[in-house]
Copies of this chain bind each other. A is one copy, B any other.
Amino acid sequence: MKTMVALPLVALIAIPVALYALSDSKTEAKAPSEIAAEAPAGDWEDIPASDLLVMETAEGGQAIIQLAPEFAPVHVDNIRKIAAARWWDGTSINRVQDNYVVQWGDATEKKTLPIGVVAEPPEEYTRGTKGLEIEWLGWPDPYAKKTGFAKGGWPVGSDGKAVWLTHCYGMVGVGRNLAPDTGSGAELYAVIGHAPRHLDRNIATVGRVIAGIEFLASRPRGTAALGFYDKPGERIAIGSLKPMSAMEPGAQSAWQVLSGKSFAAYREARANRRDPFFNVPAGGADVCNIPVPVRRKPV
């Protein structure tokens, strides 16, 4: 028997093109990645440039964050002001807890927040459905009566009245202390593990990392309690965290998210893999196991 490295698990995510060339592609079910790759331009929705922030660490890593103003407007407005003031420049990533979160902010706890930041924002942990276009998934979920995606590809849960962003991989939330504190937005985290959905409705969820999450997720884990770095020297210095519009023009980038019929087909294919690797389609999918395709806008 040959052991297999060239192909092994290749089919776990996408059947290589070569295999398709050997078969009739019309009769083969498409893998989710193929559906995204073949989506017409009209099914790629522009992400507002004004919702993007760029984090660059001193060691050269970059992550792009998309804000979700429709879900936590006061917190998001705070975050915009903090980024515009370049308040995070020179702060650090202070915590990397395995299978949980990467967290950053001012480790000195001495920096004064920029003028205009609301020090005690309201509890923006859920919102009403009014004004939100949501495509619901039909599968059961242990955490919410319904789950689905709001316009823009935002994963949500609902109890039928309130709606909230779900803590999927890459989602960004606001660190806070015990209630009534809700966090100002100066201390943020990104999810780097299995979705900690027990946090849903308990924290202001304000956005998602749309590029560079792999950089954050591969940082060394902190060895102090809760994954905090034990020694100050272990912290990862943030060179800058600023609005996309504050990047040099040549370093700015535009992004799109999959939507429309292609995103509907993608969701169905995530729930029912029928591409050749799979023997048994699952028959359903967890809202956080449907990673929303995002791409750089073609020039």
Which A residues have a C-beta under 8 Å from some C-beta of B? 1-14, 16, 19, 94-101, 103, 105-107, 109, 111, 113, 119-120, 123, 125, 137, 139-143, 168-170, 175-179, 181, 183-184, 186-187, 189, 193-202, 213-214, 217-221, 225-226, 270-271, 273, 276-286, 288-289, 291
**CB pair A9 B194 closer than 8 Å:** no
7 closest A-B pairs by beta carbon, nearest first, are: A140-B140, A1-B119, A8-B175, A142-B284, A98-B214, A139-B142, A201-B280
Chain B residues with Cβ below 8 Å from A16 are 225
Chain B residues with Cβ below 8 Å from A202 are 273, 277-280
Complex: how many Å from CA A170 to CA B278? 21
Chain B residues with Cβ below 8 Å from A179 are 277, 279
Q: Which of B120, B183, B201 contacts A8 (CB 8 A)?
A: B183
Q: Which of B6, B9, B100, B197 contacts A103 (CB 8 A)?
A: B9
**CB pair B4 A175 closer than 8 Å:** yes
Chain B residues with Cβ below 8 Å from A284 are 142-143
Nearest CB of B to A294, in Å: 13
**CB pair B177 A101 closer than 8 Å:** no
**CB pair A12 B99 closer than 8 Å:** no
**CB pair A12 B196 closer than 8 Å:** yes
Nearest CB of B to A225, in Å: 8
Chain B residues with Cβ below 8 Å from A140 are 140-142
Max count, chain B CB within 10 A of own CB: residue among A139, A177, A221: A177
Chain B residues with Cβ below 8 Å from A4 are 109, 175-177, 181, 183, 187
Chain B residues with Cβ below 8 Å from A106 are 3, 5
